[in-house]
A and B are shown apart, each in its own frame.
Chain A
Amino acid sequence: MTFTTKALLVLLTLSTAACTRPDRFGGGVNDGAANGAGAGAGVTAPTGAADPSSPQFFAQTIGDRVLFEVDSATLTAAGQATLDGQAGWLQTNSDYLAIVEGHADEQGTREYNLALGARRANTVREYLISKGVPSNRMRTISYGKERPIEVCSEESCYAKNRRAVTIISVGALS
């Protein structure tokens, strides 16, 4: 089984757990309107946000995202603190895989923003590796400016869209 195939399975798994990833594809509760949102309804992760080993806990309590400055892929101090928490969680919950999504705000050209998102996602991945998370449990993807979570054309929205989000997936490495 190739890594690509497994990654696809991971994605499929993710797409059945929309409520655990409010960020992905722009909200997860918007009628699945965006490309690739899939049929996300019905299946939820087995445990709730109160369970420290649940993906919900990861997303809500640990913090699933870090934000970046304009046209930058450098981690902020706050971002590093969040990732320290992510690394600890991933080491404790070693059954989970992670996909790190890189995103950009709309102030940039499409293809450059894809590359910028890849750079952001990789910065997070490298940081998590440096904190002990095995590299083979993570994969990166960039959405560039294709998947904003905030829609206004002001810095208050842009700041939230310039992000890297760590998506936790129930899956096992074989």
Chain B
Amino acid sequence: MTDKDFNNCVDNYSDGVYRFIVKNIGHEADAQDIVQSAFEKLWVTRAKVEPAKAKSYLFTVAYHQMIDHIRKDKKNNTTDNFDEVKSNVNISPNAELKQILLKAINELNPTQKSLVLLKDYEGYSYQEIGEIMDLSESQVKVYLHRARLILKDKLIHLEKMRA
């Protein structure tokens, strides 16, 4: 990977990595730190990384750093606060359903949340998600389906509440 390739990665993938992290941990500053660390690692190992695999490499690094961050955060007894992100993220004002869905996603465990985000935001396949998260394809499939059903139940519950 050349310097130009690296800067192209910044242009193309930094938003996605940041979005993935900030949606997971719900803290912008920490998410920025994680993204910077991920790109720093990519720069250091740029000679070994092919440009075609740079995106998955960035997500992999960012995901593992995020897991470390979450573990440290749990030790410090701090909780994810998705509402903090809500005020800073441009969300469509008419998407009430989206707000409910984001709240429901926030209640998922970190793995399920990451699976949903990687799938819906980035469009990764099960195999790619498995590579990023160190899971098998079947595990990704099972965990992600469980998450979808949980979200579906929450939506059904919400509709019942409205009704």
* Real binding pair: no
